[in-house]
Amino acid sequence: MPHDMMADPAARHPLASRKSAGLTGRIAVPGDKSISHRSLMLGATAIGETVITGLLEAQDIIHSAQAMAAFGAHVERHRDGTWHVTGIGTGGYQDPVGPVDFGNSGTGVRLAAGLIATTPVAVTLTGDQSLQKRPMGRIIAPLEQMGARFEATGDGRLPMKVTGAGDAVPISYRLPVASAQVKSAVLLAGLNAPGITEVIEPVATRDHTERMLEAFGASLRVSERDGARRIAIEGHKELTATDIQVPGDPSSAAFAIVAALITDGSDVTVRDVMLNPTRTGLIDTLLEMGADIEIANRRVSGGEEIGDITARTSALKGVTVPAERAASMIDEYPVLSVAAAFASGRTRMEGLNELRVKESDRLAAIAAGLAANGVDHKTGPDWLEVTGGANTIGGGEVVTHMDHRIAMSFLVMGLAAHEPVAVDDASMIATSFPDFAGLMRGLGADIAEQDSWR
């Protein structure tokens, strides 16, 4: 397992960005994080060898790869960059030696908890300082109904001992809050429960788990009834290994797209980006704001639609982003807030409850970053209003709270602000986008060590 790919999380790395000339070029962003996690986990559960091309080789994903190996799957990276996973079958997980560390990955630990909840193994799941602050109660509740036992720290946090059910119980579970991670954890637990396990979601969330389960041969049924989406999975059916091509991550593409929209003289194309409709809320919103965005070369790969997205400098205007769109763009609100800072008028974003329990309290971190850079804004328990315009000042240092999306978003702000924008630590960017700074510099972005211009 390639431990050397993982940067030292203890090494602080301040960065800053400043007003740049036009950004131009064609780039490919790292593979989609959601697809990368799921391809490793379902490959580890399937019978046979799964070959994964384009896997995101970032810290979060490496932790998932190491976790699957700890549970007994054979996981190997070949010299050609492909990853080969030989699975151990549904219910075949083994007790790992020692705790399993997921670093900063909330997706990794929550999905893995679902996988092992209905298998008779005992393991302690843990993570870094940031992940240990994030709540796990929303997955504990349904998985305990299925027979798993959890011993969590404090009010449901890591480290957390999980004892999987020897006699799992299928359930019908209605999500109290829209969450693709909770839905996925229950569906993955349903793989090794007898009968039908059903998840009911009043608001549709990302459907990557459903699509990939079907690609691996799971018996899955999706229906609509009484205004809710229902996903039912039949347990005790073996999955069959399949090859996966991981598309570009739209959450990573968002940074280059917004940077192009707000930086004068820009014309940037991001190739091979996933266009799953549960992930395109940001593009829909930017188009409403007047963004010059084109999508070309649409095609389907591995059950997911992909395409090439071109963004050019645009005169953006403020809009209201409804709460029902939040599920399709929850990770993109930090960079949307940056776009809003350069848009004329007021942009209001609603339904942001989920941002309170991300890598940081993202809503508070966004508001603090805007304040540090002189951007007029207001915030509430689950909403944010940004009043933008061409007078975005910059000049502040943003506290990232170990949140990669906060770091990248405010570095994007600095590319168009009057004064440079600094982030106190960019080391955690490696969890999702290891070459972010280098790739942006290749487009013409002026990003450097924080002290290099002083």
CATH code where residue 74 lies: 3.65.10.10
Last residue of a domain, one of 209, 244, 279: 244
For residues 222 and 257, state if they share a domain. no
- Determine the pLDDT at residue 1: 58
For residues 295 and 403, state if they share a domain. yes
**313-367 pLDDT, tens digit each:** 999 999 999 999 998 898 999 999 999 999 999 999 999 988 887 766 899 999 9
pTM of the model: 0.81
**95-110 pLDDT, tens digit each:** 999 999 999 999 999 9
For residues 11 and 42, state if they share a domain. no
To the nearest whole percent, how much of the chain has pLDDT over 70? 96
Last residue of a domain, one of 187, 220, 244: 244
For residues 240 and 339, state if they share a domain. no
**Domain extent for 424:** 3-31+247-449
In whole angstroms, give the CA distance from residue 320 to residue 206: 22
In the predicted model, is pLDDT for residue 253 greater than 90?
yes
For residues 169 and 301, state if they share a domain. no
Query: Using DSSP, how many helices (H) and how many strands (E) does the chain show?
Result: 12, 24
For residues 310 and 236, state if they share a domain. no
**CA-CA-CA-CA torsion for 347, 348, 352, 353, nearest 10 degrees?**
150
Name which residue leads in pLDDT, 62 or 304: 62
For residues 38 and 143, state if they share a domain. yes
* Residue numbers annotated as active site: 331
Report the first-to-last Cα separation within the chain, whole angstroms.
41
Q: Which residue is it, tokens 């549709």?
A: 204
Beta bridge partners of 438: none
Residue 161, H or E segment: strand 157-163
For residues 329 and 439, state if they share a domain. yes
For residues 302 and 365, state if they share a domain. yes
**Does residue 403 belong to any structural domain of this protein?**
yes
In whole angstroms, give the CA distance from residue 234 to residue 391: 56
**Does residue 206 belong to any structural domain of this protein?**
yes
**Does residue 23 belong to any structural domain of this protein?**
yes
In the predicted model, is pLDDT for residue 7 greater than 50?
no
- Determine the pLDDT at residue 411: 98
**Integer CA distances (angstroms), 336 to 203, 258, 300, in order:** 21, 8, 27
Q: Cβ distance 318 to 282 under 8 Å?
A: no
- Determine the pLDDT at residue 390: 65
Give backbone dihedrals phi and psi of 338, rounded to 5 degrees, phi first.
-70, -45
In whole angstroms, give the CA distance from residue 52 to residue 367: 39
In whole angstroms, give the CA distance from residue 423 to residue 417: 14
As for how many domains the chain has, the answer is: 2
**Integer CA distances (angstroms), 328 to 56, 180, 208, 299, 310, in order:** 21, 10, 12, 20, 20
Last residue of a domain, one of 244, 278, 306: 244
For residues 38 and 183, state if they share a domain. yes
**Does residue 454 belong to any structural domain of this protein?**
no
For residues 13 and 107, state if they share a domain. no
Q: What's the whole-number average pLDDT of the chain?
A: 93
Question: Does residue 426 sit in helix, strand or coil?
Answer: coil
The burial of 233, by beta-carbon neighbours within 10 Å (0-12 exposed, 13-18 middle, 19 or more buried), is given as: buried
pLDDT confidence band for 5 (50 / 70 / 90): very low
In the predicted model, is pLDDT for residue 6 greater than 60?
no
Length of the chain: 454
For residues 196 and 251, state if they share a domain. no
- Determine the pLDDT at residue 118: 98
**5-30 burial, b for 16+ CB within 10 Å, e for fewer?**
ebbebeeebbbbbbbbeebeeebbbb
In whole angstroms, give the CA distance from residue 70 to residue 241: 19
In whole angstroms, give the CA distance from residue 242 to residue 290: 41
